Amino acid sequence: MVLFSEDHIQETRRRGRIEVICGSMFSGKTEELIRRMKRAKFAKQRVEIFKPAIDTRYSEEDVVSHDSHSIASTPIDSSASILLFTSEIDVVGIDEAQFFDSGLIDVCNQLANNGIRVIIAGLDMDFKGNPFGPMPQLCAIADEVSKVHAICVKCGQLASFSHRTVKNEKQVLLGETAEYEPLCRECYLHARGEDEQKV
Ligand SMILES: [Zn+2]
């Protein structure tokens, strides 16, 4: 469990800021997003979560974390649509941000500049270990970045990499536990080496 400093969290004051929660698969990104959103809700803030319409693994209308603490959310096709829904919102959550278009960077800046707290959760790297979609730029413009970690299933160290266990070269492969495993750098390099020998 990663403990975050709560000094910065201003649940009761309307002040624009951008927070990014990034990490590998199984690192608890969505759980941390939901935890912050729930706390904002307790503070009587108006909250809404958006996610890319591409992510329909569980439900059209809920962000569902892997341990099934869920919070209602709105699936949208493009980042620009977020602006249409946020006139009455204090805290905007964005889940699976890596799947959004690059317009998300401007959208988040606009929201924060208008006094909205924006909390973004997303995969920082794809299965090849490359920066994923708009995540690197979002980390750059964020007021605060929290990198969360999974546990390496091979050695028990902290894991930053999402290793794909099935052979498929597409960057976006939706699915869950069966297709990926969290690995530390050393175990990831070893596993990728073995993958290449199989080709
Ligand atoms: Zn390891």
- β-strand pairing of 91-94 with 47-52: parallel
pLDDT at 59: 52
Of the candidates 105, 128, 127, which has an alpha carbon nearest to the alpha carbon of residue 118?
105
- Contact between 89 and 46 under an 8 Å Cβ cutoff? The reply is yes
Distance CA(128)–CA(167), nearest Å, equals: 12
| Predicted local confidence at residue 51, as pLDDT | 92
Closest CA to 151 of 126, 175, 121, 187: 187
pLDDT at 9 over 60: no
Per DSSP, the three-state class of 180 is strand
96 labelled catalytic = yes
Position 154 pLDDT exceeds 80: yes
CA of 193 to the centre of ligand 1 (A): 14
Token code pair at residue 116: 């909205």
Query: Using CA atoms, how far apart are residues 183 and 161, in angstroms rounded to an integer?
Result: 5
pLDDT for position 70: 57
| Residue-averaged pLDDT of the chain | 87
- By C-alpha distance, which of 26, 9, 16 is closest to 150? 26
Mean pLDDT across 100-121: 97
Distances (CA, A) of 193 to 24, 154, 155, 197: 19, 15, 17, 7
* pTM of the model as a whole: 0.86
- Determine the distance separating the centroid of ligand 1 and the alpha carbon of 163, expressed in angstroms: 11
Look up residue 80 and give its DSSP letter.
G
Alpha carbons 165 and 144: distance in angstroms, whole number: 32
Q: Return the percentage of the chain with pLDDT > 90, whole number.
A: 69
Rounded distance from Cα 102 to ligand 1 centre (Å) = 32
Taking the centre of ligand 1 as the mean of its atom positions, its distance from the CA of residue 153, in whole angstroms, is 7
- pLDDT tops 80 at residue 161: yes
Q: Is a pLDDT exceeding 70 seen at residue 52? A: yes
> Given this model, what pLDDT does residue 127 score?
94
Q: Give the rounded percent of residues in the chain with a pLDDT score beyond 70.
A: 81
CA torsion, ordered 116, 11, 18, 157, to nearest 10 deg: -150
Please name the residue that has the structure tokens 């800021």: 17
pLDDT of 18 strictly over 60: yes
Annotated active-site residue in 96, 179, 181, 194: 96
pLDDT band at 6 (very low <50, low <70, confident <90, very high): low
